Amino acid sequence: MTTTFKVLGPLEVRHGGERVDVPAGLARVLLATLLLRANQTVTMDALVERLWDGRAVNPARTRSTLHMVVTRLRQALGEANVVRTATNGYLAEVGPDALDLHRFRVLAEEGRFAEALSLWRGEPLSDVRSDALHQEDVEPLREERLVVLERRIEADLAAGRAVELVPELRGLTKAYPLRERFWGQLVLALHRGDRQAEALAEYRAISERLVEELGVDPSQYLRAVHHTVLVGEPEDVPAPEPSSTAWTALCQLPPDTVDFVGREDLCDEATRLLTGGPGGTGVPVVAITGPPGGGKSAWTVRVAHALRDRFPDGQLFVRLDGAGRAPRDPGEVLAELLTAVGVAPSAIPDRLEARAAAFRAQVADRAVLLVLDDAAGVAQVRHLLPGTPGSAVLVSSRRWLAGLPGVRVLRVPPLPTGLALDLLSLMIGADRVAAERRAADALVEACGGLPLALRIVGARLAARPSLPLAKLAARLADERRRLDEMAAGDLEVRASLEPSYEALRPDAALAFRRLGLLGAVDVASWVVKALTGLDDPEPAVEELVEANLLEETGADATGEPRYRLHDVLAVYAAEVAAAADPVGNDAALRTYLGVLTTLAEVASLRTTQSVDEVPFSPAPTTDVLPAREVERLTADGGPWLLAEQVALERAIEAAARRGWAVEALWLYERAMRYLDVFVPNERVVELAEVVERSLRAAGEHRLARRARYHLTTQNLKESLDDEVVGALAECARGFGRDGDHAAEALALASLAHYDHLRTGVADVEVARRAVEASERSGVRSVACSTRRELALMLAHAGRYEEALPHFDETLALCRELGSGLAEVQVHHSVARCALQHGDLERAAEAAARAVERIDLVNDLRGMGYVTSLAGRVAVVTGRPAEGVRLATRAYRIFVEVGEGIGAANAAASIGEGYLALGRPADALAVLEPALREYGEVGTALEVERMRKAFAAATAAVDGAVDGVVRAAVGEAAEGEAGSRSTP
């Protein structure tokens, strides 16, 4: 069933022909506002302003009330609901024929004026109570209708209906006594009805009224009509259009920027919007917005110059000083515009509305481009707009002007690196940039693509041809002095940023400063709440976005919208934060770290974790965020951790740098338990080192030992040597002295495991000590790890039958704990031991169970080890093609996560599989680079397997007997593989 909406009269909704009742009050204002901007997002701020109609509001309650109104409206509309949620607002999703306003405009553009006017049922939205809506939205609609009415009358005059038009036109001139087009049409109708005396009398009447009330002479159109009456031109000649002889075309545009680069796509879009097509009834308005220093004014002037031939009646330019503390008064601006178009100062009306009407009268039916630079907001611009099509308006502003009727907003983004380098080359010479390309890149990065900053840097370098780019780049690299360096003559980045900051409301200013403490990093809105303590941070966030001080970067993997301070803005925000409240900043940062720690812990515990991890160091739980919000944010633990990966890394470093060592450890443990697979291993190691140094400097030696253990387990992923194994032994001894028995047990189990990998000797006694420590700890998940390791050491020591009951006991404990990954680890261990002892049936069964269950858990490294072992078992049990496929998959995983031991293991299995397939050349293609990359990882058995397979493949390629190949494949069942921190 079709749904239709009508706004050209009382608000009306019909679905399937039946009327749908829309509740009076805020719901009706909301629907009307959305329909007037159909298929365009209307921001929360704009809706709040419209619904509360200029009344004082409580920011803490308006959002929740707005959501309630939206819900109520949707319920009332039922199947006719078209209200959709959009980023930072809502929109009405309406088809092209579903809204009478759309049909009116289409018919008018097609020249079907009478049909278009027949859609009007009275005063638009007469049953919607909102002063703001009627002033800002309905008034422009009335103007659209009048323009279409004028065109309908012109068509009737051309069709010879002059006499019958006179009564209608007399009524229109009374209703609109200053509308010159109606007066001119009345004069023409009287003239063509052979009523010359009346025609001349009406002309005198409007001429006198214009002089008395507006202080202006009749327009060129009226004078042309008067001329027609006086000289008696044939009636079939239409009234002449305004001619350039009676209007002095005026170009007030500032000079275009010579070294302008890029933006061609935006220029084309602006041109299309401003000159889109004839027949429209509205005045096209394009607003250019972007961050301070982003080149809005230069770009606006560039577009205006490019459009000069499209607007032959002139290009008017006015600076509105919107970014300053005292934006220009619209009445003052109108006086300037009226003077520019030839109105004598003594004839300029006093009232704002009269000045606006006088300006519209002066530019009526002309092709004028009005350029308004640096607008403060919608209220400043609204009265400056022309009233008739043909003219267009180009506005630049630091704020989004979405509330301006009919506006299309284009955002000027920072320059990408290539264009930024082009701009720098234009200013200082391409040769100089090419000679110090790395330093030039650093300069561009420090400027963040802001044209103002780049121009300042370019001006400084141009003034000093001998100054090395690297020297200035080094000075800009220091964020504490960067803004001091970004100044040259009367250009200064800091001065361009200050007005935008000073115009913010207190909550938004606080949010801006506090976000500066984190730097140029993506954040979710909950971060603003943690940093500021605001109950509802959304209004502050939206004000910053509207002021182009905060950029919306899209939604993350959890669906949460994310925001980012531009690099230079982040430096400025940190500067004003340091000056405003250093003590409060520290408190805010600690609160943020506490919230981040709580969220990281909850998210991490919701991911599938290995039981071989040391339990978290106890950390307090913050209540800054309500439990329901914590639940919502971390419902999917892994995606949340990935979304906050960069923030977590930076927070760990920031905490350590400020001497908050314990907080740094808390964050590291909770974040890297899951993220160490996704973060490059060298970065994980770097963070562990930072945390350990910070803890030792703070005298937290017990916790420093934990950091050392985390560091050691990360180092083990790349290589295995005496130093790393010695570090494990030292950690185990230290944990024992500290009474940290869970950590002691896991360290001992790791020691037994990795020492066996390094030497091939199974130390059953160390494994038994690990089991005893786990029993002292009382942590049952740790018991899973230590009992499994004891079973492995027994099997490696030749006591396979004795090991099997321990495996069964461990498997039962894993199932009792409900740990799928721990169960996979046991199956993996059983398969390894069975393979080593020639129990191929058990090996195949256990490997199959591990593969089956690993898909149920989210552990990439575990997937690698399980798949690698399954490949090895497949080769030994006569399925070499499947073995190569599985081992190759595992090898790719290990290379991706930087796991050297696992990569050596998988490479050996690939080589053995290719040998079994009789493809020694393919085996060499894998083994040769693998030996170069992983031949020194320190795992004796895996490296030995690779070397044996390599020797066999080399011999086969060189024509050695097939027995060499068979011998190498037989040896594939020998040796040992794997990592104990994952399967």
What pLDDT, in 10s, does the model give residues 738-761? 999 999 999 999 999 988 888 888
Same domain, residue pair 465 and 438: yes
Same domain, residue pair 136 and 208: no
pLDDT (0 to 100) of residue 532: 93
Spatial CB neighbours of 48, under 8 Å, sequence gap ≥ 6: 57, 62, 63, 66
CA distance 701 to 665: 12
pLDDT (0 to 100) of residue 730: 93
> Mean pLDDT, to the nearest integer, of 636-657?
90
Does residue 51 sit within a domain? Answer: yes
Does residue 593 sit within a domain? Answer: no
Same domain, residue pair 296 and 343: yes
Does residue 596 sit within a domain? Answer: no
Residue 983 has pLDDT above 80, yes or no: no
77 burial class (0-12, 13-18, 19+ CB within 10 angstroms)? buried
**How many of the other CB atoms lie within 10 Å of CB of 742?**
20
Computed over its alpha carbons, how large is the radius of gyration of the chain? 38
Minimum mean pLDDT range among 234-238, 388-392, 831-835, 872-876: 234-238
At residue 980 the predicted structure's pLDDT band, cuts being 50, 70 and 90, is very low
Q: What is the largest distance, in Å, between two alpha-carbon atoms of the chain?
A: 125
Residue 594 has pLDDT above 60, yes or no: yes
pLDDT (0 to 100) of residue 61: 59
The pair of three-digit structure tokens given for residue 104, joined into one six-digit string: 């009116």
Does residue 489 sit within a domain? Answer: yes
From 141, 158, 182, give the residue that closes a domain. 141
Specify the CATH number for the domain of residue 400. Answer: 3.40.50.300
From 244, 272, 297, give the residue that closes a domain. 244
Cα 828 to Cα 716, 792, 844, 867, 977: the distances in Å are 20, 11, 10, 10, 11
pLDDT (0 to 100) of residue 281: 59
Cα 925 to Cα 704, 867, 963, 969: the distances in Å are 44, 21, 21, 18
The pair of three-digit structure tokens given for residue 213, joined into one six-digit string: 């009330």
Does residue 947 sit within a domain? Answer: yes
676 burial class (0-12, 13-18, 19+ CB within 10 angstroms)? buried
Same domain, residue pair 94 and 226: no
Same domain, residue pair 384 and 262: yes
> Mean pLDDT, to the nearest integer, of 292-299?
82
Taking alpha carbons only, the member of 848, 854, 815, 821 closest to residue 834 is 848
The pair of three-digit structure tokens given for residue 23, joined into one six-digit string: 């509740």
Does residue 89 sit within a domain? Answer: yes
Same domain, residue pair 84 and 18: yes
CA distance 108 to 282: 11
Report how far apart the first and last C-alpha atoms of the chain are (Å, whole number): 58
At residue 227 the predicted structure's pLDDT band, cuts being 50, 70 and 90, is confident
Residue 505 has pLDDT above 60, yes or no: yes
Does residue 920 sit within a domain? Answer: yes
pLDDT (0 to 100) of residue 961: 42
The pair of three-digit structure tokens given for residue 30, joined into one six-digit string: 């909301």
Percent of the chain exceeding pLDDT 90 equals: 28
Same domain, residue pair 436 and 407: no
Minimum mean pLDDT range among 101-105, 216-220, 638-642, 713-717: 216-220
Cα 403 to Cα 36, 143, 515, 552, 893: the distances in Å are 11, 18, 27, 19, 52
From 202, 217, 244, give the residue that closes a domain. 244
At residue 223 the predicted structure's pLDDT band, cuts being 50, 70 and 90, is confident
Same domain, residue pair 402 and 256: yes
Which amino acid, one-letter code, is at 573? A
The conformation of residue 138, written as its DSSP 8-state character, comes to I
Same domain, residue pair 183 and 205: yes
CA torsion sign, 320 to 323 to 329 to 330? Answer: positive
116 burial class (0-12, 13-18, 19+ CB within 10 angstroms)? buried
Per-chain mean pLDDT for the chain: 84
Give the bridge partners for 409, in sequence order.
287
Query: Angle at Cα 467 formed by Cα 461 and Cα 472, nearest 5°?
Result: 70
What pLDDT, in 10s, does the model give residues 394-433? 999 888 777 777 788 888 888 888 888 988 888 889 999 9
Same domain, residue pair 911 and 883: yes
The boundaries of the domain holding residue 333 are 250-411
Same domain, residue pair 23 and 100: yes
Taking alpha carbons only, the member of 343, 379, 380, 336 closest to residue 361 is 343
Instruction: Give kind and range of the element (H or E) at residue 816.
Output: helix 800-817
Same domain, residue pair 125 and 193: no
CA distance 75 to 704: 58
Into how many domains does the chain fold? Answer: 5
Report which listed range, 39-43, 116-120, 276-280, 452-456, is most confident. Answer: 116-120
Does residue 20 sit within a domain? Answer: yes
